[in-house]
């Protein structure tokens, strides 16, 4: 343990750089402990806090820029990969799109403080073709605020952190074991959250082919577009009704609870569609199915699109929970 603490004291800049870089690339590893420990060491005069902050910002920008260009090059395909390696629930994609719709590029200034938003915001900024200069400006400000907060906490609580480090050092191998256990518990909690979320996504889907057949028949199902407002502007499945925020479409008020409803989105693993479908089932609708593959699968199969015209949310209109 003493050797580990000596390495942190000697190579703190590298510890901060690689800790921040790996976390921002999407690995489920916490970077804030490294920022706080080195911030505490800076309070003792062992580091220049400005150097620590600069290194952390550079690491953030390198990782974020890589995801930005990946999103710009590969579009939404990269979001699936990012959600998988970061162990973040896929529904964060729709939430991030909603935030971007409201605030645009300036939302990157607080992205790293919002769970589920930070993990996909930079890739989504690229896929949405956010201006590069605006991206670098606001992402750089966000990186400075995020890293600066971690270093400031270490500086302010330097005495308490030093006591913890001394205690861990006195414990020797047991102290090192506690540090490793803490990291493992953090990763395990992320994995467990992801596993629980994946379990919620287990639901019977409807294929694109089956939906096409039903749409051509006499008993056409009600189709619900669960994408964000930003994505709805790109077109929708003909006849689909749209969600506005968390408001239920007015058409559901007159829909037979026994009749079929098909919900689709454009997110990894049909996450938003499944969540909306489950909430509709809880509200008493008996037959609700997410569309397998969402709008991407519909377009890939040659399905037609029509221009979206989302209905306005009415005062007192029923709303989805959550």
Rg of the chain, C-alpha, whole Å: 23
In sequence order, which residues have a C-beta less than 8 Å from that of residue 14 and are 6 or more positions away? none
Mean pLDDT value across residues 234-244:
83
Mean pLDDT value across residues 152-164:
82
Alpha carbons 31 and 35: distance in angstroms, whole number: 7
pLDDT at 314: 29
Pick among 3.40.630.30, 3.40.250.10, 3.30.420.40, 3.40.50.720: CATH of 208-300: 3.40.250.10
pLDDT at 179: 62
Three-state SS annotation for the chain: CHHHHHHHHHCHHHHHHHHHHHHHCCCCCCCHHHHHHHHHHHHCCCCCHHHHHHHHHHHHHHHHHHHHHHHHHHCCHHHHHHHHHHCCCCCHHHHHHHHHHHHCHHHHHCHHHCCCCHHHHHHHHHHCCCCHHHHHHHHHHHHHHHHHHHHHHHHHCHHHHHHHHHHHHHHCHHHHHHHHHHHHHHHHHHHHHHHHHHHHCCCCCECHHHHHHHHCCCCCCEEEECCCHHHHCCCECCCCEECECCECCHHHHHCCCCCEEEEECCCHHHHHHHHHHHHHHHCCCCEEEEECCHHHHHHHCCCCCECCCCCCCCCCCCECCC
pLDDT at 247: 64
Pairing of strands 287-290, 260-264: parallel
Residue 33's CB is within 10 A of a number of other CB atoms, namely 18
Burial of residue 264, with CB atoms counted within 10 A of its CB: 0-12 exposed, 13-18 middle, 19 or more buried: buried
Q: pLDDT per residue over 54-68, tens digit each?
A: 999 999 999 999 989
**Residue that has been written with the tokens 């201006």 in this structure:** 131
Q: 316 pLDDT band (50/70/90 cuts)?
A: very low
Dihedral pair phi/psi, residue 293, rounded to 5°: 85, -10
Mean pLDDT value across residues 254-280:
84
Q: pLDDT per residue over 16-41, tens digit each?
A: 999 899 888 877 778 888 898 888 88
Kindly report, as residue ranges, where domains of CATH 3.40.250.10 are found in the chain: 208-300
End-to-end CA distance of the chain: 44
Q: 243 pLDDT band (50/70/90 cuts)?
A: confident
Q: pLDDT per residue over 178-194, tens digit each?
A: 666 776 776 777 667 66
CB 78 within 8 A of CB 127: yes
Count of residues for the chain?
322
Whether pLDDT at 226 is above 60: yes
Task: Output the pTM of the full model.
Answer: 0.60
């Amino acid at each position: 343990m003493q050797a580990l603490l000596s390495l942190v004291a000697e190579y703190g800049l590298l510890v901060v750089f690689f800790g921040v870089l790996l976390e921002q690339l999407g690995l489920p590893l916490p970077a804030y402990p490294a920022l706080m420990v080195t911030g505490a060491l800076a309070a003792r005069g062992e580091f220049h806090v400005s150097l620590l902050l600069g290194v952390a910002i550079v690491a953030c920008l390198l990782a974020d820029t890589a995801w930005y260009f990946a999103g710009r090059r590969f579009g939404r395909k990269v979001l699936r990969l990012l959600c998988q390696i970061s162990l973040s629930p896929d529904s964060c994609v729709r939430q991030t799109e909603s935030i971007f719709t409201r605030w645009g590029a300036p939302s990157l200034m607080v992205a790293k403080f919002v769970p589920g938003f930070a993990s996909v915001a930079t890739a989504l900024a690229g896929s949405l073709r956010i201006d590069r200069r605006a991206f670098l400006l606001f992402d750089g400000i966000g990186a400075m605020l995020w890293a600066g907060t971690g270093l400031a906490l270490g500086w302010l609580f330097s005495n308490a952190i030093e006591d913890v480090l001394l205690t861990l050092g006195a414990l020797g191998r047991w102290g090192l074991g506690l540090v490793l256990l803490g990291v493992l518990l953090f990763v395990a909690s992320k994995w467990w959250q992801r596993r629980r979320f994946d379990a919620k996504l287990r639901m019977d889907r409807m294929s694109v082919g089956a939906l096409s057949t039903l749409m051509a028949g006499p008993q056409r199902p009600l189709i619900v577009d669960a994408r964000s407002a930003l994505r709805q502007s790109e077109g929708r499945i003909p006849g689909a009704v749209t969600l506005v925020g968390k408001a239920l479409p007015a058409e559901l008020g007159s829909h037979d609870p026994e009749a079929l409803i098909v919900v689709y989105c454009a997110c990894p693993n049909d996450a938003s569609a499944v969540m909306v479908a489950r909430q509709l089932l809880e509200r008493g609708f008996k037959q609700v199915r997410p569309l397998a593959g969402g709008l991407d699968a519909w377009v890939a199969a040659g399905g037609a699109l029509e221009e979206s015209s989302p209905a306005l949310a009415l005062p007192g209109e029923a709303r989805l929970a959550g």
